[in-house]
Amino acid sequence: MSSLTKIILQRLGLGLLTLFAVSVIIAFAVELLPGDITQAILGQSANPETVAAFRAEIGLDRPAHVRYLEWLKGILTGDMGQSLANKRDIEDFFGARLSNTLFLGGVAAVISVPLALLLGVLAALYRDSIYDRVVNLTTLTSISFPEFFVAYILILFLSVNIGIFPGISNVSKDLAFGEKLFRTILPALTLTLVVVAHMLRMTRAAIINLLASPYIEMAVLKGTRPMRVILYHALPNAWGPIVNVIALNLAYLVVGVVIVEVVFVYPGVGQLLVDSVSKRDLPVVQVCAITFAAVYILLNLLADIVSIISNPRLMHPR
Amino acid sequence: MDMYDRQQKELGRLQAKVAKGSMSRREFLSRVSAMGLGAMAPGLYMQSAMAAPKQGGTLRQALTGGASSDSLDPATFLDSYMINVGMGQLRNNLTEIDENNQLVPELAESWDSSDAKTWVFNLRQGVEFHNGRSLTSKDVVASIQHHLGEDTKSAAKGIVSQITEITVQGDNQVKMVLEGANADFPYLMSDYHLGICPENDDGTIDIQSGIGTAGYKLESFDPGVRTYVVRNPNYWKSGRAHFDAIETLFVADTGARENGLMSDELDVISSPALATASRLGERPGIEVFYTNGNQHCTLPMLNNVSPFDDNNVVMALKYAIDRQEWLEKIWFGYASLGNDIPIGPANQFRATNEEIPQREYDLDKAKYYMKQSGYSSLDLKISVADTAFQNSDDACVLFSETARAAGINIEVVRKPDDGYWSNVWLVDPWCASYWGGRPTEDWMFSQVYSKNAIDTGWSETYFNNPRFEELLPQARAELDSAKRRDMYIEMQRIVHDNCSVIIPIFSAYGHASSDKVKRSANVASNWEFDGHKNVERWWFG
């Protein structure tokens, strides 16, 4: 077995353990929150009788560990369970929510990753120039504002004032791809503005870091053009740290979109998670949290694999 | 029939044609001119084209109060989103509150009772469910029984538990016998939980499919996100349900709702931000309007906890709050003053200002009652959260400033929204709360202010007044309106002076809509959105 396969298998095993730990922590944390689902749903009309009837109906009168083990058994056999609140099968509606979130994350990634890399490479090439400063200033500004503020600014200019894009992203599954894309543009742009700075600065820093190396000086002395020096000599050795940052940001595009989803009324997993936590709907919270954790673990694994492949020293450890 | 009558009748016929769209403007003008009304003709045309509803279009509305935990089971309805979908779009009740806040027949054509204890409802004939099956009395009985029984979690249990016997009398009559006389019983049948659903073979009702008898058929339901319904072509009500389809979104964020409206993604939204409502209304094409309903804020005190067991302290607090300031600074004028009485403008027997004068901020009286109570100064805590009512923390900070002059120090304690109704309300001695209001005096008083309410867990104050308890069943059973009015005025006075609750504000329901959305001059105020019947009463102009 090659060392790479071994590393991957090891990581996947550890990932499963992490997921298990996450599910325990989530179950425990939801248990700690004040009130339970019956009180959250019944609100002001939560008198002891109705609460007791409701608890018995959804099996909430049994101890927490029994309910957790039952859930664990279900999830290991591929049964996501039912929402406690309205008894819908989670797999019936979770898929649609997840595909919405992945779609939004995907659109944002397609815009932001190439943009960040391009701007980053150019910033390294023309470092300390006016261009470098302007790009840095703009992206750092946009990352410094809270997401909802960036979202509202975009809505104000692109939606309310000019009226190009819709101010809320009312996407449903029967929309055509083009229409769905159109309605997803504003939230995707918001996310782009939030994540570009991080990737751009890492690209710039990783490349500049290498520019002081002897082999780059050699290339410069040979008279290679600056652009070629960066793309063919510096960039291949800078991939490790850059991919790591890209992976982190891609993960953020999936799991960090809660606020953007709320502002644009985008029906994704983030909105579902917030809703379910406030209603204490544990099975739904678990599925959302496990999915988010899995996305994080897999993207980090991917980043590690890429940095190992791009670095011969790690490919063949002594 | 004289000349004038005949002319009016002819004119009415022509106007109806215009309204239906079956007569052109040109034809109308020439026909009306022929009647010798030439100069008035264009105005008459506008009037009929404006006033009469037109059919068509997809209404896109955004409401609050939804969640991904929502379900189509009427027993679980709690907040405005599902009330609008369930009661407004899919299902009818036996009775309805109309746009003038009056009780009118809906699925029950008429009802009758000689003693207010045994009620017979005569069902309308020829009403069909969305699946084509005819409505019968069995469906009605099963739909009511859905909320009865030991293991029900229905919020309507409190309303229907007074029914001791419910039986079918033929296909078109339902008899209900109550444990005690209740003159308001037909009102209670308009409650949003009591929508009539089709009966299943086993005696339960179909709550999953959304099949009902109302103006729209369910196409898709994605809880907490979106509901899509299309017009029911066989709707039994004439002149109702004018839209071809309705898309109802749940949008929790106020900014998002307003953005959706301003960028023409939505046609009507609920609850625009109070602070900016007037500026939103200034935008061309957008209209902001409020309806004054029975929804009110309360500051209840548990009267078995010192010092709230002393009515002098309560009275001092009632005079130490500046309601006018609350109205202006917290509600920006979009509300009306409360008079420590839970009966609102949409109720029948609300006391007028002559009967019970509006209580105002009066430092002298507050000081007088403080002196009577024997306290030289008081340190009190009030628990607040946004779930009780928006900006309750700011409002109570204002209160603490006006009360300080009377020697009362109020500390405002902000509590989390989560679990507020279980861990704070009815637990902390003094807190902020609210009521959506009830269509009848008896309902409001019985549910929250009666001695019985202490046992059922609804009493915010543990109010227990012998005279009030004596009047409550008498007024409930009285079929003579004038006598009932006297009794209810007396009961309102008792609460006004003796109950440990401050009711400072009746908050209005706020709406913003595109000016394409038309509605009649009267809008019901028992709930927001025209009593949540907007989908069948409004239309596109």
Contact list in B for residue A264 (CB cut-off 8 A) is: 256
CB contact under 8 A, B418 and A278: yes
Mean pLDDT of A293-300: 91
Q: How confident is the model at residue A31 (pLDDT cuts 50, 70, 90)?
A: confident
Is it the case that residue B1 has pLDDT exceeding 50? no
Is it the case that residue B187 has pLDDT exceeding 50? yes
Contact list in B for residue A165 (CB cut-off 8 A) is: 263
* Cα separation, B109 vs B483, whole angstroms: 27
Mean pLDDT of B130-159: 88
CA distances to A11, A266, B445 from A95, in Å: 26, 15, 47
What was the pLDDT predicted at B25?
Answer: 67
- The shortest CB-CB distance from B152 to any of A48, A53, A165 is to A53
B328 or B479, which is more confident: B328
Is it the case that residue A117 has pLDDT exceeding 50? yes
* Cα separation, B289 vs B278, whole angstroms: 10
Contact list in B for residue A279 (CB cut-off 8 A) is: 67-69
- The shortest CB-CB distance from A33 to any of B265, B418, B425 is to B418
**Mean pLDDT over all residues of chain A?**
88
DSSP assignment of B119-177 equals EEEEEPTT-B-TTSPBP-HHHHHHHHHTT-STT---TTHHHHTTEEEEEE-SSSEEEEE
Determine whether B131 is exposed, middle or buried from the number of CB atoms within 10 Å of its CB (0-12, 13-18, 19+): exposed
B418 CB within 8 Å of a chain A CB:
yes
DSSP classification of residue B205: B
Query: Best residue in A90, A94, A153, A168 to probe B by mutation, most B CBs within 10 Å?
Result: A168
B439 or B185, which is more confident: B185
Treating both helix axes as pointing N-terminal to C-terminal, what angle do A90-125 and A235-255 enclose, rounded to 10 degrees? Answer: 150
Nearest residue in chain A measured CA to CA from B72: A86
Find residues 481-540 of chain B whose CB sits inside 8 Å of chain A.
Answer: none
What was the pLDDT predicted at B465?
Answer: 95
Per residue, the 3-state secondary structure of A245-273, as one string, reads HHHHHHHHHHHCCHHHHHHCCCCCHHHHH
Nearest residue in chain B measured CA to CA from A267: B225
Contact list in A for residue B62 (CB cut-off 8 A) is: 265
Treating both helix axes as pointing N-terminal to C-terminal, what angle do B392-404 and B311-320 enclose, rounded to 10 degrees? Answer: 100
> What residues form DSSP beta bridges with B290?
B510
Shortest alpha-carbon distance between residue A170 and chain B (Å)? 8
What was the pLDDT predicted at A275?
Answer: 85
Shortest alpha-carbon distance between residue B526 and chain A (Å)? 19
CB contact under 8 A, A42 and B78: yes
* Cα separation, B323 vs B329, whole angstroms: 10
Is it the case that residue B507 has pLDDT exceeding 80? yes
* Cα separation, B19 vs B153, whole angstroms: 46
Contact list in B for residue A33 (CB cut-off 8 A) is: 418-419
CB contact under 8 A, A264 and B256: yes
> What residues form DSSP beta bridges with B384?
B414
Nearest residue in chain B measured CA to CA from A96: B222
Mean pLDDT of A123-131: 92
Contact (Cβ atoms closer than 8 angstroms) between residue B170 and residue B164: no
Contact list in A for residue B220 (CB cut-off 8 A) is: 172
- Give the tokens for residue A9: 């298998």
- The shortest CB-CB distance from A167 to any of B151, B260, B433 is to B260
- Give the tokens for residue B133: 């099956």
Query: Best residue in A30, A86, A278 to probe B by mutation, most B CBs within 10 Å?
Result: A86
Nearest residue in chain B measured CA to CA from A279: B69
What was the pLDDT predicted at B40?
Answer: 63
Contact list in A for residue B256 (CB cut-off 8 A) is: 167-168, 262-265
* Cα separation, B496 vs B490, whole angstroms: 10
Contact list in A for residue B155 (CB cut-off 8 A) is: 42, 45, 50
- Give the tokens for residue A42: 């019944």
Is it the case that residue A168 has pLDDT exceeding 90? no
Bond into B307 cis (ω within 30): yes
Query: Best residue in A82, A179, A184, A275 to probe B by mutation, most B CBs within 10 Å?
Result: A275
- The shortest CB-CB distance from A279 to any of B69, B150, B260 is to B69
Determine whether B87 is exposed, middle or buried from the number of CB atoms within 10 Å of its CB (0-12, 13-18, 19+): buried
Which residues make Cβ contacts (< 8 Å) with residue B415, sequence separation at least 6? B383, B384, B385, B423, B424, B428, B431
Is it the case that residue B21 has pLDDT exceeding 60? no
* Cα separation, B338 vs A253, whole angstroms: 48
Q: How confident is the model at residue A262 (pLDDT cuts 50, 70, 90)?
A: confident
Amino acid symbol at B103: L
Q: Which of A34-43, A278-287, A297-306, B367-376 has the lowest mean pLDDT?
A: A34-43
- Give the tokens for residue A146: 């809270």
- Could you tell me the domains of chain B? 3-50 (no CATH), 92-188 (3.90.76.10), 217-292+509-540 (3.40.190.10), 296-507 (3.10.105.10)
Is it the case that residue B264 has pLDDT exceeding 50? yes
* Cα separation, A107 vs B187, whole angstroms: 53
Is it the case that residue B212 has pLDDT exceeding 90? yes
Contact (Cβ atoms closer than 8 angstroms) between residue A289 and residue A29: no
* Cα separation, A241 vs A256, whole angstroms: 21
Q: How confident is the model at residue B18 (pLDDT cuts 50, 70, 90)?
A: low
Mean pLDDT of A173-192: 90
* Cα separation, B146 vs B204, whole angstroms: 7
Place of tokens 């309910």: A67
**Mean pLDDT over all residues of chain B?**
89
What was the pLDDT predicted at A116?
Answer: 95
Contact (Cβ atoms closer than 8 angstroms) between residue B131 and residue B198: yes
What was the pLDDT predicted at A309?
Answer: 82
The CATH number of the structural domain formed by A95-315 is 1.10.3720.10
Is it the case that residue B66 has pLDDT exceeding 90? no
What was the pLDDT predicted at B369?
Answer: 96
In the three-class reduction of DSSP (H, G, I as helix; E, B as strand; rest coil), residue B288 is classed as strand
* Cα separation, A145 vs A180, whole angstroms: 27
Determine whether A1 is exposed, middle or buried from the number of CB atoms within 10 Å of its CB (0-12, 13-18, 19+): exposed
- State the pairing for strand pair B433-435/B286-300: antiparallel
Mean pLDDT of B495-522: 93
Is it the case that residue B48 has pLDDT exceeding 70? no
Nearest residue in chain A measured CA to CA from B455: A47
Contact (Cβ atoms closer than 8 angstroms) between residue B502 and residue B318: yes
Mean pLDDT of B64-73: 87
Query: Best residue in A54, A84, A265, A287 to probe B by mutation, most B CBs within 10 Å?
Result: A265
* Cα separation, B332 vs A141, whole angstroms: 35
Contact list in A for residue B415 (CB cut-off 8 A) is: none
What was the pLDDT predicted at A201?
Answer: 92
Q: What is the dihedral of CA B174, B177, B180, B183, to 10 degrees?
A: 20
Q: How confident is the model at residue B482 (pLDDT cuts 50, 70, 90)?
A: very high
Q: How confident is the model at residue B158 (pLDDT cuts 50, 70, 90)?
A: confident
Mean pLDDT of B459-483: 93
* Cα separation, A308 vs A115, whole angstroms: 25
CB contact under 8 A, B69 and A166: no
Nearest residue in chain A measured CA to CA from B63: A265
Is it the case that residue B20 has pLDDT exceeding 60? no
R_g over Cα of chain B? 25
Shortest alpha-carbon distance between residue B85 and chain A (Å)? 16
- Count of A–B CB contacts within 8 Å? 144
R_g over Cα of chain A? 24
CB contact under 8 A, B226 and A170: yes
A59-115 tens-digit pLDDT: 888 888 888 998 999 888 888 888 888 888 888 889 989 999 999 999 999 999 999
Shortest alpha-carbon distance between residue B154 and chain A (Å)? 7
Contact list in A for residue B419 (CB cut-off 8 A) is: 33-35, 39-40
What was the pLDDT predicted at A38?
Answer: 83
Domain ranges of chain A: 3-76, 95-315
What was the pLDDT predicted at A318?
Answer: 62
Q: How confident is the model at residue B4 (pLDDT cuts 50, 70, 90)?
A: low
A202-225 tens-digit pLDDT: 999 999 988 889 999 999 999 999
B342-382 tens-digit pLDDT: 999 888 899 999 999 999 999 999 999 999 999 999 999 99
Give alpha helix (H) positions in A1-63.
Answer: 3-32, 37-42, 48-57
Which residues make Cβ contacts (< 8 Å) with residue A168, sequence separation at least 6? A264, A265, B249, B251, B256, B259, B260, B263, B265, B266
Q: How many CA atoms lie within 13 A of B39 on its CB side?
A: 0
B333 CB within 8 Å of a chain A CB:
no
Is it the case that residue B19 has pLDDT exceeding 70? no
Is it the case that residue B530 has pLDDT exceeding 90? yes
Give alpha helix (H) positions in B287-391.
Answer: 311-320, 323-325, 363-373
Nearest residue in chain A measured CA to CA from B157: A50
B70 CB within 8 Å of a chain A CB:
yes
Q: How many CA atoms lie within 13 A of B261 on its CB side?
A: 32
Is it the case that residue A317 has pLDDT exceeding 70? no
Angle, CA B246 vertex, CA B284 and CA A96 arms, to 5°: 110
Shortest alpha-carbon distance between residue A20 and chain B (Å)? 26
Contact (Cβ atoms closer than 8 angstroms) between residue B520 and residue B242: no
Give me the percent of chain B exceeding a pLDDT of 70: 91
Query: φ and ψ at B97, to 5 degrees?
Result: -95, 120
Distance of CA B289 to the CA centre of its chain: 16
Is it the case that residue B508 has pLDDT exceeding 60? yes
In the three-class reduction of DSSP (H, G, I as helix; E, B as strand; rest coil), residue B267 is classed as coil
CB contact under 8 A, A168 and B266: yes
Q: How many CA atoms lie within 13 A of B228 on its CB side?
A: 9
CB contact under 8 A, B260 and A35: no
* Global pTM exceeds 0.90: no
What was the pLDDT predicted at B513?
Answer: 95
Selection from B155, B434, B455 nearest residue A41 by Cα: B155
